[in-house]
Structure 1
Amino acid sequence: MKYLENIERVAREWPCRTAVRASTGMDLTYRELWAASEALAEQVGKRVERGVPVIVYGNKDPFMVVCFLACMKAGCPYVPIDGNSVPPQRTASIATQILASMTGDAGIEAPLVLAVGSFPTCDDMPPVTVIEHRAIGDLVAAAGHSNRDRWIDGEDLAYILFTSGSTGAPKGVEVTAACFDNFCAWDLELAHGNTPERSDGRVWLDQAPFSFDLSVFELAGALGGGGTLYSLAAETQLSMAAQFAALKECGADIWVSTPSFAELCLANADFDQNAMPELRLFLFCGETLPNATAARLLERFPRARVVNTYGPTESTVAVTSVEVTAEMTASPEPLPVGAPRLGTRIRIVDEEGRSVPAGTFGEVVIEGDTVARGYFGRPDLTTRVFDTAVLDGAAVRAYRTGDEGYLDAEGMLHFRGRLDLQVKLNGFRIELGEIEGHLRRLPEIAAAAVAPVYRDGKISHLVAHVVPSAPLGDTPFRAGLALKERLAEFLPHYMVPKKVAFHESLPMTGNGKLDRRALTEKK
């Protein structure tokens, strides 16, 4: 695997360079990271047959990265579970799915867990073999070497990332070593331009939980390019003061996060280029990047580029990119999400799967060399949304995203939202994303989301949940009325939310995305 080979090269040529540093003060050099993962890979290989998934449980401890590399070297896909955002019942569901996939030939009777933290217990937890943090340290201290013949490569799985499933049980996305390597090359190109493989020690901010695929942006870019992964630990993110202090001292060159996290930081008037003088690049993925948010970042960080990207977990993090300009942010149109990377083709199809002309909305289909292999243990789900295609004479996988968008005449993708965010109210089909887009373009709004309110199993009305960009100069009722009048200038009456709720901030999930379920539960 080229990713492992790149890390090995840096460990040999720059052994004392910091590879991973956490906001808690813990760090590992490349020599320490490589040696520790070598020793642990040998021990994992003695306990698990090649190809069997291994759970890695914890938060932003540098030893989480040791475990990831050790699993790759042992030929086992790692399954990251963030201990601070994933509840025990969900962890139990993931472990149960792994156990169900195992056979007697696997050599063990329970899934192996590398626990960099206290592994939870609950009534639904199946039998698991847990190696706790201290025991991992003892195995690493004993030293050892991986068997290079077991290293993952090609169609071997690099990791399995469990995302939300429509049935209530999480579904595991199978990402191969080839997908990871191909994404890593593009990731480095975004960060380093024409010298993607140079080892220049750039610092990548690592904020998203490891169970969220956005974190792969940092893991691939930082370690694949010889840089430093700076992790914001969960305890640091609990305090705004501690978080801001960590951001000031981290020396980050490259920022990766959801737009929601950046908006949270922008609430601090001191969040600017003076606080983070080395910052040169913002990479956004996972959510719609509002024009106003990008404009504020360009204003506060004049030496930094803002790059918008798009891609679901099933396509290995992201597959499109565009550098956002001040002119783009000033446009009344939402920001595009970019042109596809080399090795990816984007198609827009109708309900019958037929390609539609440029400028026509439809479902986004991704074809290319970073599309995942499918869903772990779920061939029924895999065949429903995964297919094959031919790109530049080679067979590649294709994935129907369930996202809605269109391609313009230049081949730039414009994203509107989830097809499953369409609602029907009083017979009218409504795109919640369209309402949110108009709200976010208003200068008095810093963040916005629209949620339906259900009564007796049917949608009663819509509520606009907004964060004002300045203190309300009027009562909430009058301010909400004025806001609805503004929306009525752009939207038909049936799309204007019945109620406007003002908040200091919008709720976020543990992955740093907007928590729409929490908003739906609000009245």
Structure 2
Amino acid sequence: MKDILQTINRYSVIYPNKIAIRYNDHSLTYKQLDTYANALACYIMSSRTPLILYGHMSPYMIVGMLASLKAGCGYIPLDISMPTARLQHIINKVEPNFVLNTTSDEIELTNGEIITIDDLQQMSVTTREFNNIQEVDIAYTIFTSGTTGEPKGVQISYGSLNEFVKWISDINQLGLYQHWLNQAPFSFDLSVMAIYPCLTTAGTLHLVDKHMVAKPQLLDDLLRSNNINIWVSTPSFMELALLLPVFTQEKYESLGQFIFCGEVLSHKLAEKLLHHFNKAVVYNTYGPTEATVAVTGIQITQSIIQHYNPLPVGKPRAGVTLAVNDHAELIIMGRCLSQGYLNDAIKTAQVFKEYQGKQAYYTGDSAYYLDDMWFIKGRMDNQIKYNGYRIELEDIEFRLRQIHFIQEAIVVPKVKQGKVVQLIAAITLTKAVSPEEVKVLKSEITPLLAENLPTYMLPTKYEILEKLPINGNGKVDRKAINEVILR
């Protein structure tokens, strides 16, 4: 198995001037990346707590990642989009010795010595190569949203990270020296799917600015000027890319592989993508943050599209075992599992527990096994009670997506005094239509849905949006949709 640090260090010697990371007009070569990481590792060597990385898509955040691994303390990435109160809450929980601020803004924190990019660039260069992290040590901690509103710090070991990176490298059908696109902010573990597989295959990592989420034309400029080969994103970000006037293989000849995670890859989106890029490899993966980014994968081909709707998430990667309990909840076992939530034994014990004598993670996702493949039905916590019936919102959303003129759909329950009183569907259409046509299409939705759903599951209102809002991680923002259609 490739070791991340050893591999990147070797590339810094073999390919010292090759660009490792590019973000807008900023870039770092493999030599610069390793040199800065060694200098920072030497500086933070005394740390007994994770290094906090603060910023947005700065190449120096990746310097901090490698430095923290070399120093053996691990890291916690925090994006600038994070509210100050939430940021301070995490800082208080971690009590870091060091914080790497990669922005030009000053930050006031009650814990930790703040290191700036200027500080980093002025640190003494060392010829010493650091590799103090062991496989059982925590490589990174990603804070995810908790049901109580309090973020949970998911801890992933270096051994688990190395195993995951090897798996993605095996999925990569284009080989070494590729140009990778990373859409996810570093505080979202989907970014791990691009960062390390790219750098351990001597590739160049291109970071998508948050402004590109709102302006697809900026994405077009990036794709055309950098000949991107491998695309890593959420399906929702791909929906935005498909808004480009001509998003096809002919225009972007270099794009040869797409890897998706973080959300459901809809049948309609996969079909459209394969139509536009008929020579490209499309991979659908699935996994929670607590199991090191992703644990299953499958190449989506025309045959898969013809035979399955919804699409499968495939087979588990080596070393991972999956099962479902009596409630159809997916359970994950293997070395991929997190070592629990940082400083939170109670929440850890709630979802990390034994299953048939093995340590396991209870995902909260409903799943089933068919034709030697796994399928995800949706979140069990997206189940509601409406007029006495238990309803899974994803079930309605799936049926909406099957209607030929609907591209994407999210169902929102309207709640009054703690009770669901109405189901409202926010939808986007496959093409632009006139206001008169909108009225006609709305009238057709309920009869079409009624062919597959009982009356009590039918939404009573449909809101047609130009596009569904997505959050900073590139996922559909259900909260924003709630605010738009329930206001």
**TM-score with structure 2 setting the length:** 0.95
Query: What is the correspondence of 1:5-84 to structure 2 with a 5 Å cutoff?
Result: 5-22=6-23, 24-46=24-46, 48-49=47-48, 52-83=49-80
Code of the aligned partner of 1:215: S
Code of the aligned partner of 2:425: A
Shift of 1:240: 2.4
Code of the aligned partner of 1:113: V
Task: Please say if 1:143 is aligned against 2:125.
Answer: yes
Task: Please say if 1:95 is aligned against 2:91.
Answer: yes
Shift of 1:78: 0.5
Shift of 1:147: 6.3
Where does residue 229 of structure 2 map in the other structure? 253
Contact 2:155/2:340 (<8 A) preserved: yes
Where does residue 115 of structure 2 map in the other structure? 131
Task: Please say if 1:490 is aligned against 2:452.
Answer: yes
Where does residue 382 of structure 2 map in the other structure? 421
Query: What is the correspondence of 1:113-512 to structure 2 with a 5 Å cutoff?
Result: 113-118=99-104, 126-139=110-123, 142-145=124-127, 148=130, 151-192=132-173, 200-331=176-307, 333-351=309-327, 362-388=328-354, 397-410=359-372, 412-473=373-434, 474=436, 476-512=438-474
Rounded to whole Å, the distance in 1 between the matches of 2:224 and 2:461 is 39
Shift of 1:7: 0.7
Where does residue 107 of structure 1 map in the other structure? none
Code of the aligned partner of 2:36: A
Contact 2:216/2:243 (<8 A) preserved: no
Contact 1:95/1:111 (<8 A) preserved: no
Partner SS state of residue 61, structure 2: helix
Partner SS state of residue 201, structure 1: coil
Contact 1:41/1:145 (<8 A) preserved: no
Contact 1:291/1:329 (<8 A) preserved: yes
Deviations 1:59-102 (A, max 9, x none): 1121111111011111111000111x322222111111112xxx
Rounded to whole Å, the distance in 1 between the matches of 2:320 and 2:428 is 37
Partner SS state of residue 398, structure 2: helix
Rounded to whole Å, the distance in 2 between the matches of 1:341 and 1:129 is 40
RMSD: 1.9
Q: Which moved more, 1:366-375 or 1:322-331?
A: 322-331
Shift of 1:136: 2.0
Contact 2:316/2:322 (<8 A) preserved: yes
Rounded to whole Å, the distance in 1 between the matches of 2:321 and 2:153 is 24
Code of the aligned partner of 1:507: P
Rounded to whole Å, the distance in 2 between the matches of 1:453 and 1:29 is 52
**TM-score with structure 1 setting the length:** 0.88
Q: Which moved more, 1:129-138 or 1:164-173?
A: 129-138
Shift of 1:120: 6.5
Contact 2:51/2:68 (<8 A) preserved: yes
Contact 2:351/2:363 (<8 A) preserved: yes
Code of the aligned partner of 2:297: S
Contact 2:216/2:240 (<8 A) preserved: no
Deviations 1:31-72 (A, max 9, x none): 1111111111111114x23xx111101111211111110111
Query: CA distance change for structure 1 residues 181 and 397 in 2, over 3 Å: closer, same or farther?
Result: farther
Shift of 1:479: 2.4
Shift of 1:177: 0.3
Partner SS state of residue 130, structure 1: strand
Rounded to whole Å, the distance in 1 between the matches of 2:147 and 2:59 is 33
Rounded to whole Å, the distance in 2 between the matches of 1:237 and 1:450 is 23
Code of the aligned partner of 2:467: S
Rounded to whole Å, the distance in 2 between the matches of 1:426 and 1:325 is 41
Unaligned segments of structure 2, at least 5 residues:
none
Unaligned segments of structure 1, at least 5 residues:
100-109, 352-361
Rounded to whole Å, the distance in 2 between the matches of 1:86 and 1:274 is 39
Partner SS state of residue 269, structure 1: coil
Shift of 1:455: 1.3
Rounded to whole Å, the distance in 2 between the matches of 1:325 and 1:409 is 16
Rounded to whole Å, the distance in 1 between the matches of 2:93 and 2:117 is 24
Partner SS state of residue 375, structure 1: coil
Contact 1:41/1:146 (<8 A) preserved: no
Rounded to whole Å, the distance in 1 between the matches of 2:440 and 2:41 is 62
Rounded to whole Å, the distance in 2 between the matches of 1:259 and 1:238 is 15
Contact 1:335/1:414 (<8 A) preserved: yes
Deviations 1:255-276 (A, max 9, x none): 1100000011111231111232
Query: CA distance change for structure 1 residues 312 and 291 in 2, over 3 Å: closer, same or farther?
Result: same
Contact 2:213/2:237 (<8 A) preserved: no
- Number of equivalent positions: 483
Contact 1:42/1:145 (<8 A) preserved: no
Partner SS state of residue 439, structure 1: helix
Partner SS state of residue 508, structure 1: coil
Shift of 1:6: 1.0
Query: What is the correspondence of 1:104-119 to structure 2 with a 5 Å cutoff?
Result: 111-118=97-104
Contact 2:210/2:472 (<8 A) preserved: no
Contact 2:154/2:338 (<8 A) preserved: yes
Deviations 1:114-163 (A, max 9, x none): 010045657xx533421122222222xx3125563x62121100000000
Contact 2:217/2:244 (<8 A) preserved: no
Partner SS state of residue 181, structure 2: strand
Rounded to whole Å, the distance in 1 between the matches of 2:128 and 2:340 is 28
Partner SS state of residue 374, structure 1: coil
Contact 1:292/1:329 (<8 A) preserved: no
Partner SS state of residue 406, structure 1: strand
